[in-house]
Amino acid sequence: MLADVRVRRQHPLPVQELRLDDRRGRQLHLPGVRGYVLSGQSGGIRRLAVGAGAVAIAVAIVFFVLILPRVARPGLGALIIGVLAVATIVVFWLGLPTILGAAAIALGLGARERGVETGKATAGLVLGALAVVAHIVLAFVG
């Protein structure tokens, strides 16, 4: 994938546009995107990946070490975390849908195994699984 960052001067303030070309010649224009991700001046894609990875690791530690063991109602917890997992698909590049989806799946399976709040646990399990699958698809499709 080739990237071309251009500055358009049609506005009173310069607005950068990020243009991505794939191998088939299709183009994706993202007006207003700063383009720092692919430029060498700010650390580029490596800086974004390190930042997103650090956020994902921090959230995983918080959820799996601090929050999940303390949930009193695992069925309701699975449902709430499953909804959060689906909501974070909007910012899928941070890795949150997979972390929250896995937490919802873990709580849902635990609640179903104990036989408490099975309806909420199943809904949370399904939402968590959908978030994980959507995150994987979006990671490849973009």
Are 113 and 61 part of one and the same domain? yes
Are 88 and 103 part of one and the same domain? yes
Are 5 and 30 part of one and the same domain? yes
Closest CA to 123 of 112, 136, 135: 112
Cα–Cα distance, 32 to 20 (Å, whole number)? 14
Q: Identify the burial level of 2 via C-beta atoms within 10 angstroms of its C-beta, where 0-12 means exposed, 13-18 middle and 19 or more buried.
A: exposed
Are 69 and 135 part of one and the same domain? yes
pTM for the model stands at 0.63
Kindly report the CA angle at 15 between 92 and 13, in degrees rounded to 5? 140
- Residue 10 structural domain: 1-42
Tally the domains of the chain.
2
Amino acid (one-letter) located at 98: T
Kindly report the CA angle at 6 between 89 and 140, in degrees rounded to 5? 30
Per-residue pLDDT of the chain (142 residues; tens, 9 = 90+): 445 445 444 444 444 444 555 555 555 544 444 443 444 455 556 776 777 788 888 888 888 888 888 888 999 999 999 999 999 999 888 888 999 999 999 999 999 999 999 999 999 999 999 999 999 898 888 6
Are 55 and 96 part of one and the same domain? yes
